[in-house]
């Protein structure tokens, strides 16, 4: 029942949580962004029960976040690859990551860090900004009724059928 | 068991999901950012069972995301206010929101939009950037072992005790 109500919500936060609101899903995306491709690797890295992992991956493929491909080395294993939509969840992961870095670690505590591959420096902190670039705080943001953009974006949408 | 392993993970994504990985929690933060303060209002807006809402709010207070205060109008009701750490979850919500706007709505479909309070225009799209401002794609980001920053930030941390 909750699934239905979130899926058709007018709020994009709610709809997104319908797709990725299970924390396993975001941890799977995290590992896929690091280059994990195979069922056994996900299972080992995440320590998940096979049946739960299997269900999550199936849902992610159905939602258009992941796709299955034959293994690149020609072996019998299938590989799971993030679609473009799945890769774009990186912003969600970085926002979660930076919040955790700020609030959930002791100074000097060992921590996995997301860095720029070029120079291994941490990423710029995500800040909210207006269209013209002005920095915004949470108090500067309000929510109002509107409509989804009309044009070109539609080609990038996740299939509604698949959801 | 999963709670324990995420709470002490070296990955900030995992630790953050330990605190906010329940989708109700993020919907409560969303509504609190809109100005919802009272138990009954959260309950009505979200259509949650009272016992679940009550448990979530208690956890959020313990985690340092929310705090309880006497009602501003002097009535007997308590109010729930986001702490600074809670307000900072706005970046996570905007990242979720923008992903949903892009992938989960038909063109022209009615949608609740986050806008700049000043001019009611949509926010700038969150993009990943290097420290020097270069735009990064998900392929430009890697994860490596490091340590949490040493200095001033510690004053802003969520209490470990409370977690």
- pLDDT tens digit sequence for B54-99: 999 999 999 999 999 998 888 888 899 999 999 999 999 999 999 9
Instruction: Please indicate, yes or no, if residue A111 is contained in any of the structural domains.
Output: yes
What CATH number is given to the structural domain containing B67?
Answer: 1.10.10.10
Q: Does residue B151 form part of some domain? A: no
**Would A163 be classed as within a structural domain?**
no
Distance CA(A60)–CA(A42), nearest Å, equals 14
Residues in B closer than 8 angstroms to A111, CB to CB, are 10-12, 145-148
Q: Work out the average pLDDT over A52-63.
A: 95
State which H helix or E strand residue B17 sits in. helix B12-20
pLDDT at A88 over 70: yes
β-pair type (A110-116, A141-147): unpaired
Residue at B155 is within a domain = no
CA gap A54, A93 in Å, rounded: 22
Mutation target to probe the B interface, by most B beta carbons within 10 A, among A95, A131, A133, A162 is A95
Interior angle at CA A82, CA A96 and CA B113, nearest 5: 50
Task: State whether residue B116 sits within 8 Å of chain A by CB.
Answer: yes
- Identify the burial level of B70 via C-beta atoms within 10 angstroms of its C-beta, where 0-12 means exposed, 13-18 middle and 19 or more buried: exposed
In-domain check, residue B162: no
> What's the Rg (C-alpha) of chain A?
18
**Hey, is the C-beta of B23 within 8 angstroms of any chain A C-beta?**
yes
Are the beta carbons of B13 and A26 separated by less than 8 Å? yes
Q: Which residue has the tokens 């600074």?
A: B84
**Residue B68's Cα: distance from chain center in Å?**
17
Structurally, how many domains does chain A consist of? 1
Nearest to A88 by CA among A158, A15, A163, A160: A158
The pTM of the full predicted model, rounded to 2 decimals, is 0.89
Residue A132 belongs to what domain range?
A: 12-140
Q: Does B162 touch chain A (CB under 8 A)?
A: no
Q: Please check whether residue A22 lies inside any domain of the structure.
A: yes
pLDDT of A7? 83
The residue that leads in pLDDT, B23 or A157, is B23
Torsion of CA B83, B92, B94, B68, to 10 degrees: -20
For the segment B33-38, the average pLDDT, to the nearest whole number, is 94
Asked if B115 has any chain A CB less than 8 Å from its own CB, the reply is: yes
Phi, then psi, of A21 in degrees rounded to 5: -80, -5
Residues A82-110, mean pLDDT to the nearest whole number: 95
Chain-chain contact of B91 with A99 (C-beta, under 8 angstroms): yes
| Residues B63, B80 contacting (CB under 8 angstroms) | no
Distance CA A144, CA A124 (A): 29
H, E, C per residue of chain A: CHHHHHHCCCCHHHHHHHHHCCHHHHHHHHHHHCCCCCHHHHHHHHCCCHHHHHHHHHHHHHCCCEEEEECCCCCCCEEEEECHHHHCCHHHHHHHHHHHHHHCCCCCCEEEEEEECCCCCEECCCCCEECCCCECCHHHEEEEEEECCCCHHHHHCCCCCCC
pLDDT of residue B158: 61
A153: Cβ–Cβ under 8 A, 6 or more apart, which residues? B102, B107
Dist CA B2 CA A40 (whole Å):
19
**Does A7 map to a domain?**
no
Residues of B in contact with A123 (CB under 8 A): 128-131, 136, 141
Phi-psi map region of A66: left, alpha, beta (phi>0 left; psi -120 to 50 alpha): beta
A35 contact B CB<8A:
no
**Per-residue model confidence (pLDDT) at position B64:** 96
The predicted pLDDT at position B163 comes to: 41
Report the pLDDT value the prediction gives residue A100, as an integer from 0 to 100.
Answer: 95
Specify if B122 maps to a domain: yes
pLDDT tens profile B112-162: 999 999 999 999 999 999 999 999 998 999 999 999 988 654 455 565 444
Q: What is the DSSP letter of B65?
A: S
Return the pLDDT at A157: 54
What is the residue whose two structure tokens read 């849902």? A59
């Amino acid at each position: 029942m909750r699934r239905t109500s979130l899926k058709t919500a007018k709020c994009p936060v709610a709809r997104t949580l319908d797709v990725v609101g299970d924390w396993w899903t975001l941890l799977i995306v995290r590992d896929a962004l690091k280059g994990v491709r195979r069922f056994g690797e996900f299972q080992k890295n995440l320590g998940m029960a096979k049946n739960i992992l299997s269900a999550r991956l199936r849902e992610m493929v159905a939602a258009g976040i992941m796709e299955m491909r034959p293994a690149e080395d020609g072996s019998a294993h299938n590989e799971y690859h993030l679609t473009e939509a799945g890769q774009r969840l990186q912003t969600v992961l970085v926002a979660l990551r930076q919040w955790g870095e700020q609030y959930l670690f002791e100074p000097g505590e060992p921590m996995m860090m997301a860095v720029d591959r070029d120079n291994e420096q941490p990423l710029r902190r995500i800040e909210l900004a207006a269209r013209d670039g002005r920095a915004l705080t949470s108090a500067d943001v309000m929510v109002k009724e509107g409509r989804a953009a009309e044009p070109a974006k539609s080609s990038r949408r996740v299939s509604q059928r698949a959801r």
